[in-house]
Amino acid sequence: MKDDLIAIDNLSVRYELHGSTFSGRRTYVNALNGITLNVRKGETLAIVGESGSGKSTLAMTVLGLLRHWTGTISYNFSEKELTSAKERKLRRAELLEIWRRSSIVFQDPYSALDSKKLVKDIITEPYLGHRLGARSESQLLASELIMQVGLTEDHLGYYPDQLSGGQRQRIAVARSLINRPELVIFDEPTSSLDVSIQAQILNLILDLKEKLSLTYIFITHNLVVAKHVSDRMMVLYLGNVMEIGETDSVFNNPLHPYTKLLISSVPLPKADYEMKQRESREAEVSSITLPGGCVFHPRCPVATSYCGWKSDEVLQLIRREAYLLLGIEELDAEMHGDLSFTVTAGDEETARKLLDVVREKDRFKIADAQLSGNSISFTLFESWKPSLLSSGGRAVNCLLYDVEFMTAHGLKQDGS
Amino acid sequence: MSNAEAQGTAPVLILRDLQVDFFTAKGRAHAVRGLNIDVAKGEILGIVGESGSGKSVTALSIMDLLPQRTGGIVSGSIVFDGSDLAPVYSSKYRVSGRKGREKLRLRRFAARRAERKLAGHKGRISMIFQDPMSSLDPLYQVDSQLLESILYNNEKFMIERVIEKNSIMERIGDFTIMLQQKNTEDIMEWVRSNYGEGGFHREIFFISNMSISESEKKIKIRRALEYTRNLSPQERKRLTERLPKANGRYFRPNNRKRLPIQGIGNPVIREGMLFSLELLEFVGMPNPENVLTSYPHELSGGMKQRVMVALAVANDPDILIADEPTTALDVTTQYQVLYLIKSINRKLKTTVIFITHDLGVMAAMADRIAVMYAGRVVEIGPANHFFNDPLHPYTSGLLKSVPQYDERVRKLYNIPGQVPDLRRLPTGCAFNPRCEHAMNICRTEEPPDESVGERRVQCWLYSEGVQKNER
């Protein structure tokens, strides 16, 4: 599309775990799993999610800093269009083109600036490195930029450790602008700063965007900051897009259960804010063995039977309930694939009791249970993999908003 | 409101004119300058401020964790439970007049003397630190670290528990009678009437306060009793007549997998292990048995912070200091940890001093809020006043600089300038160079403490008889 600066199609990134290369069985961390995303020209796109959701991996892939990934990324810079795909990765010269037209501001201003260099050398380094002009020009630009970020020319002669955190972050912003980028990625730029300094940096970032007509990708885990700066917002969870849409509409009417969980977790600076007890569904999830179906289902408060439950997950739930309600500590089980398993209790009486307990509880997601002697065989529903469905600028990755699924199973779409 | 209750009771901790200095190469940094805070019993006192305002230094000086050589309490008092801790703390470091080995010897004496004086306060103030990874020892499994805290500070309690449980076992023989009581409340009542407060009663109190189902609670109580092996007469005699000394005698570097609880010979360690397990359950740890034998690096950030909370509440402290406990956590985990700390305050009536720079977290937690700036409390008062009607210009500036959730302001307010260098503070009010209401008097004289309703504020704007228009 014409007004998209970056179009990402079905991007997946996985990292090989250290030490697994020669072990016979390689294991991978699935950092991103099929991301499709457009970044429009002149917008601020916020990417939010917990740690480990793949926010920073996405930024690194967009900047061409990772080698191994699948999918397609198209760049539509002015006077230059580039497409990078699994089949044809960019050549060095093309990567340089991307690096010239984009830049990044990192989280920690204390480690992002070289402490052995003067501020003026730090700021002019991208300019000189890309051979955009002579050294004298770079000095002029640097003094112009340092005024723009709200410091004085005196600061050019300082070393970074003579400056405070806020001033350092201003220098990082100045450095990111000297190569006249079209895209700037902010990777949690304010999370290590104080509240009043955060306000200064956010104001600065927004001012500069208006002045220089830039496109921002703003990575943060602070939802209030994301709401303040962004036009559109993307919610990531375990490398999957959960929801994407206009920031205001996502905040006023979050659709995905994960977005709802995130937004309700932010304590608000209001006198009448009260914390409520929540049903905690803590599940051990990792991006090494991703949960099947919807990746969020083990933690989802409104998960249906079709959201991707597997035998071992359900067996764990049954074991726990058997321990809590019936006092059974050991429960033998035999797995028959992902969707069926057999549980053997001590005697027929206990087995019957256990079956009653399981039938009573809705959250076991059982399709069928057969009692024979002292063993029960369970069958689960075939899982549906949700897909990112978009309507009216919003896209949600949840079965509850999949009309086809809902009608097929006679469920009502009530948005909860 | 618990706030109103808190007002009525006597303060549990009183800080008076506390002054903490650090000696740097470029001069003395006045990190805390004349701090006055009364912490009421059972409240959550929030302390906000930018970095460098002295929040953490205050917490560290209460805990006696200030660096020994480069800084210390210069003057003032920290009154806890009727005794002033500040001179005891500083007595350890002020050994004057001698040199070399002699000085070291004197210093060791002083430290021992101080330790004896503080023996009664062991484990009564505890602290949760900001970064759980650097606060837990990476070389020890979680159970060793919990055991260390429990047995070092409160070994007597563990021994009492062992003895008490044994006497219960002996008397009732079969504890099923107790478990036949309808619910945990009744069990608690039964235990209280038969055995009084403390010891086993406190354990059941812990269990009954967990957010789990009734049947689960009963299973836990049964387990708590089952693991108690009958003591041999010799063991019993040794434990009752002569309490063994603590000081890390029980701990060993555990580079091998731990034995299950039943397999541990020493009854006190076994009891401590069981108590650790209960603590982990109390802080809502999923799968506590496995966590007990894990190393810190095997746990996620939220789980590590829960272990820290478990460590901090292990000895049922009177005061719990939480120094930015959720800054390193995700929002969803943050919510759970905050809820946990709040429920500890509400259920166990532990006084909490909560330090943060996140005003949202402050709104969720605090009953009363103290705003610190350059080593002083510039405003202190109930939380709702703080958000609705801030007095000090710095407080209102802080509130305005936070992005709002429901309304969209394109331009955030920001307080001009920066936190002053603590070595070269401006004369008069420390905030005057950044203040938009600064008057002549602000630049020359330090503002006194003024009471405005329930609040106290240090600002000339609220002083009687100061010409307000004089700029």
Record the tokens describing residue A286, joined without a space: 């990792």
Among B41-55, B92-106, B441-455, the minimum mean pLDDT is found in: B92-106
Checking if the pLDDT of B306 tops 90, the result is: no
**What share of chain B in percent tops pLDDT 90?**
20
Give the end of a domain, one of A230, A264, A292. Answer: A230
In this structure, are A84 and A197 located in the same domain? yes
Q: Is the ipTM of this complex over 0.90?
A: no
Which of the residues B217, B401, B434 would you substitute to probe the A interface, choosing the one with the greatest number of A C-beta atoms within 10 Å?
B401
Q: Which of residues A142 and B165 earns the better pLDDT score? A: A142
Instruction: Give the chain B residue whose CA is nearest to the CA of A329.
Output: B219
Region A258-275 average pLDDT? 86
The reply to whether A152 falls in a domain is yes
Q: What is residue B256's predicted lDDT score, i.e. its pLDDT?
A: 42
Whether residue A212 is found in the same domain as residue A349 = no
- Are A14 and A130 in the same domain? yes
Report yes or no on A403 lying in a domain.
no
Contacts of A362 (CB under 8 A, 6+ apart): none
Which residues does chain B have within 8 Å of residue A221's beta carbon, measured at their own beta carbons?
A: 330-331
Residue B443 has pLDDT above 70, yes or no: yes
Q: Which residues contact B393 (CB under 8 A, 6 or more apart)?
A: B431, B435, B436, B437, B459, B461
Residue A80 lies in a domain: yes
Residues A342 and A224 in one domain: no
Asked if residue A315 and residue A223 are part of one domain, the reply reads: no
pLDDT computed for residue A58 by the predictor:
93
The residues, ordered by sequence, that sit 6+ positions from B453 with a Cβ below 8 Å of its Cβ are B381, B385
Q: What are A369-406's pLDDT values in tens digits?
A: 888 888 888 888 888 888 888 877 889 988 888 888 87
Angle of CA points A405, A244, A36, to nearest 5°: 80
What is the arithmetic mean of pLDDT over B195-216? 63
Contact A50 B332 (CB under 8 A): yes
Residues A200 and A66 in one domain: yes
Partner residue opposite A196 with nearest CB, options B211, B339, B414:
B414
Question: Among candidates A106, A123, A115, which has minimal Cα distance to A65?
Answer: A106
> Shortest Cα distance from A32 to chain B (angstroms)?
19
Assess contact for A58 and A32: CB atoms under 8 A. yes
A195, B286: Cβ pair inside 8 Å? no
Q: Which of the 8 DSSP states describes residue B428?
A: S
Name the 3-class secondary structure at A144.
helix
Q: Is the pLDDT of residue A163 over 50?
A: yes
Question: Euclidean distance between the first and final Cα of chain A, in Å?
Answer: 34
Give, in order, the Cα–Cα distances in Å from B397 to each of A201, B198, B355, B371, B401. 16, 48, 19, 12, 6
Instruction: Let me know whether A316 and A223 are in one domain.
Output: no
Q: Answer whether A194 sits within 8 Å of B414, measured CB to CB.
A: no
Separation of alpha carbons B203 and B275, rounded Å: 8
Predicted local distance difference test score (pLDDT) of residue B251: 47
Residues A36 and A179 in one domain: yes
Instruction: Please report whether residue A315 resides in a domain.
Output: yes
- Assess whether pLDDT exceeds 70 at residue B8: no
Supply A32's token pair: 């991103």
Q: Please, what is the Cα angle at B376 between B371 and B380, to 5 degrees? A: 35
Cβ neighbours of B360 in A, within 8 Å: 224, 266-269, 273
- B194 pLDDT band, cuts 50/70/90, is low
* Shortest alpha-carbon distance between residue A188 and chain B (Å): 13
Quick check: A208 pLDDT over 60? yes
Predicted TM-score (pTM) of the model is 0.83
Q: State pLDDT tens for residues A248-263.
A: 999 999 999 999 999 8
Is B338 within 8 Å of A267 when comparing Cβ atoms? yes
> Same domain, yes or no, for A22 and A171?
yes
| B138-163 per-position pLDDT tens digit | 888 888 888 888 877 777 777 777 77
Given this model, what pLDDT does residue A1 score?
A: 58
Reply yes or no on whether the pLDDT at B171 is more than 70.
no
Structural domains of chain B sorted by starting position, each given as residue range(s) with its CATH number in brackets = 2-123+367-415 (3.40.50.300), 139-294 (no CATH)
Q: Which of A129, A124, A166, A131 is nearest to A145 (CA)?
A: A124
Encode pLDDT of B27-47 as tens digits. 888 999 999 999 999 999 999
* pLDDT tens-digit readout, B381-409: 999 889 999 999 999 999 988 887 777 77
Q: Count how many pairs of residues, chain A against chain B, have C-beta atoms within 8 Å.
A: 128
Examine the fold and report which residue of A230, A245, A278 is the final residue of a domain before the chain moves on.
Answer: A230
pLDDT score of B414 more than 60? yes
CB count, 10 Å around CB of A125?
Answer: 16
> Percent of chain A scored above 90 by pLDDT?
37
**Residue B254 has what pLDDT?**
44
Edge-to-edge strand list for the sheet holding B83-84: B27-40, B11-24, B71-80, B83-84
Q: Is B179 exposed, middle or buried (0-12, 13-18, 19+ CB in 10 A)?
A: middle
Give me the residue from A266, A272, A280 closest to B331, CB to CB: A266
Asked if the Cβ–Cβ distance from A194 to B332 is below 8 Å, we say: no
**pLDDT band, very low/low/confident/very high, at A408 (cuts 50, 70, 90):** confident
Residue A172 has pLDDT above 90, yes or no: yes
pLDDT for residue A22:
72
Q: Which of A15-24, B61-70, B179-188 has the highest mean pLDDT?
A: B61-70
Say yes or no: A226 and A317 in one domain: no
Query: What is the pLDDT at residue B255?
Result: 39
Task: State the helix-helix crossing angle for B214-226 and B184-195, rounded to 10 degrees.
Answer: 40
Residue B3: pLDDT above 50?
A: no
Could you tell me the residue range of the domain that residue A209 belongs to? 4-230
| CB-CB under 8 Å, B331 with A224 | no
- Partners of B434 on chain A (C-beta within 8 Å) are none
Q: What pLDDT shows up at residue A375?
A: 84
CATH number at residue A47: 3.40.50.300
Lowest mean pLDDT among A9-23, B312-326, B335-349, B424-438: A9-23
Does the residue A148 lie in any domain? yes
Task: Quote the mean pLDDT of chain A.
Answer: 86
- End-to-end alpha carbon distance in chain B: 42
| Contact across the interface for A228 and B335, Cβ inside 8 Å | no
Q: What are phi and psi of B52, to 5 degrees?
A: 90, 5
Angstrom distances, CA of residue A208 to CA of A138, A174, A202, A222, A389: 19, 10, 10, 21, 34
Number of domains in chain A: 2
Among B44, B86, B114, B144, smallest CA distance to B363 is for B44
Which of B301, B339, B412 is nearest residue A203 as measured by Cβ atoms? B412
Instruction: Show Cβ contacts of residue B61 under 8 Å, excluding neighbours closer than 6 positions.
Output: B18, B20, B32, B73, B78, B86, B89
- Residue of higher predicted confidence among B314 and B153: B314
Residue A415 lies in a domain: no
On whether residue A82 sits in a domain, the answer given is: yes
pLDDT confidence of residue A52: 81
- Does A265 contact B332 at a Cβ distance shorter than 8 Å? yes
Q: Which two tokens stand for residue A49?
A: 């999610």
Average pLDDT over residues A26-39: 89
Q: Could you tell me if A18 and A370 are in contact, meaning their C-beta atoms sit under 8 angstroms apart?
A: no
Half-sphere exposure of B464 (CA within 13 A, CB side): 3
Count other C-beta atoms under 10 Å from residue B137's C-beta: 13
Q: Is B25's pLDDT higher than 90?
A: no
pLDDT for B201 equals 60
Q: What is the model's pLDDT at position B287? A: 73
Give percent helix, percent strand, percent coil of chain A, each to the nearest 5.
35, 25, 40
Decide which of A408 and B76 is more confident.
B76
Backbone angles phi and psi of A398, in degrees to 5: -150, 140
Q: What is the pLDDT of residues A213-234, one digit of tens each?
A: 899 999 998 888 999 999 999 9
On whether residue A341 sits in a domain, the answer given is yes
Q: Is the pLDDT of residue A415 over 50?
A: no
Q: A321 and A224, same structural domain?
A: no
Q: Residues B235-271: pLDDT tens digits?
A: 666 665 554 444 444 444 443 444 455 556 677 777 7
| Residues with Cβ within 8 Å of residue B362, at least 6 apart in sequence | A269, B46, B48, B354, B356, B369, B383, B386
Burial status of residue B384 (CB atoms within 10 A of its CB: 0-12, 13-18, 19 or more): middle
Q: Check residue B204 and give its pLDDT.
A: 66
Q: Where is average pLDDT lowest: B18-32, B158-172, B322-336?
A: B158-172
Tell me, what CATH number does A343's domain have?
3.30.70
Q: Which helix (H) or strand (E) holds A368?
A: strand A366-372
Same domain, A316 and A209: no
Mean pLDDT, residues B176-180: 63
* Token reading at B413: 């307010």
The pLDDT score that the predictor gives to residue B231 is: 65
Element (H, E) at B203: helix B200-208
Q: Does the pLDDT of residue B187 top 80, yes or no?
A: no
Which pLDDT tens digit goes with each residue over B223-232?
Answer: 666 655 566 6
Coil, strand or helix: which one is B154?
helix
